[in-house]
Structure 1
Amino acid sequence: MVQNPSESPPQSEPFAADLLRGHTDTIVLGVLRGAESYGFEIYKTIRDATGGLYEIKEATLYATYRRLVKDGLVEASWGDETQGGRRKYYRITDAGRAVYAKNVQSWTATQRIINTLLNVKGGTP
């Protein structure tokens, strides 16, 4: 089979990126639970956590940051220029922590249901 050069290389573990796309807000909130961070650092944290298997496009991330700030789930502030270029830092709010916890609960419940349905007797894995 010849691979189209515009396609990404095959991955060792296939996954459905479209399932992850619906959870971008929760993923970003999860990264910010530990400490405030700037935009590109959040991108690298997500990429590195998956060993490079999943990267969220920067345009998608910056739209996510704007939405999270607008919704009061994250606060943004400009960093000190002595650290290099001026960076916008993002910090999770208490409301963001609550939404994160609710979304993780929803994901866990959904995952249990999907796992159950995928293992129904008579079904093919």
Structure 2
Amino acid sequence: MTQNTEGTVPQAEPFAADLLRGHTDTIVLAVLRDAERYGFEIYKMIRDATGGLYEIKEATLYATYRRLVKDGLVEASWGDETQGGRRKYYRITDAGRAVYQQNVRDWTATQRIINTLLNLKGGQS
């Protein structure tokens, strides 16, 4: 962030975190698309991708991991202990990839409709 003329760092633009909360599954599936990752690594990737503006609570993430595994969208396995404590790794399944792709299509269509509606110009009476 750059400083303004008063020498202070401007605050980040506010956003509606509740709009993102409904997309936690899709966000996690997106992180897992290219490689398996352990739980806290996923948390850090999401936080870092937004420059720290958005963090998913760890409890929410671990509930999401359990749900994704239960639904067959992600597989979980324990790593070895060569780098400290054992870590649980998550890997996206083919079903998870299909759900991710559908969710992205749904989001894109929804975004297009919302953008259209936000840009409506009212008629004159």
Same fold (TM over 0.5): yes
Point out where structure 1 has 5 or more consecutive residues left out of the alignment: 1-9
Residues 1:79 and 2:75 aligned together? no
**Secondary structure of the residue that 1:44 maps to in structure 2?**
helix
Tell me the amino acid that sits aligned with residue 44 of structure 1: K
**Secondary structure of the residue that 1:102 maps to in structure 2?**
helix
The 1:16–1:85 alpha-carbon spacing in structure 2 relative to 1, beyond 3 Å, is same
CA distance in 2 between counterparts of 1:42 and 1:114 reads 29
Shift, 1:11, TM fit: 4.0
Tell me the amino acid that sits aligned with residue 16 of structure 1: A
Shift, 1:14, TM fit: 1.5
**Secondary structure of the residue that 2:82 maps to in structure 1?**
helix
| Identical-residue share of aligned pairs (%) | 91
TM-score (norm 1): 0.88
Report the equivalent of 1:116: 116
Report the equivalent of 1:5: none
Tell me, yes or no, if the aligned pair for 1:11 and 1:53 is still in contact at 8 Å. Answer: no
CA distance in 2 between counterparts of 1:83 and 1:37 reads 14
Report the equivalent of 2:89: 89
Which ranges of 4 or more aligned residues in structure 1 deviate by more than 3 Å?
Answer: none
Point out where structure 2 has 5 or more consecutive residues left out of the alignment: 1-9
Per-residue CA distance 1:82-110 (angstroms, 9 max, x = gap)? 12110000000000000000000000000
Report the equivalent of 1:105: 105
The 1:41–1:114 alpha-carbon spacing in structure 2 relative to 1, beyond 3 Å, is same
Tell me the amino acid that sits aligned with residue 12 of structure 1: A
Shift, 1:112, TM fit: 0.3
Tell me, yes or no, if the aligned pair for 1:31 and 1:42 is still in contact at 8 Å. Answer: yes
What is the root-mean-square deviation of aligned Cα atoms in Å?
1.3
TM-score (norm 2): 0.88
Report the equivalent of 2:69: 69
Report the equivalent of 2:47: 47
Higher-Rg member (1/2): 2
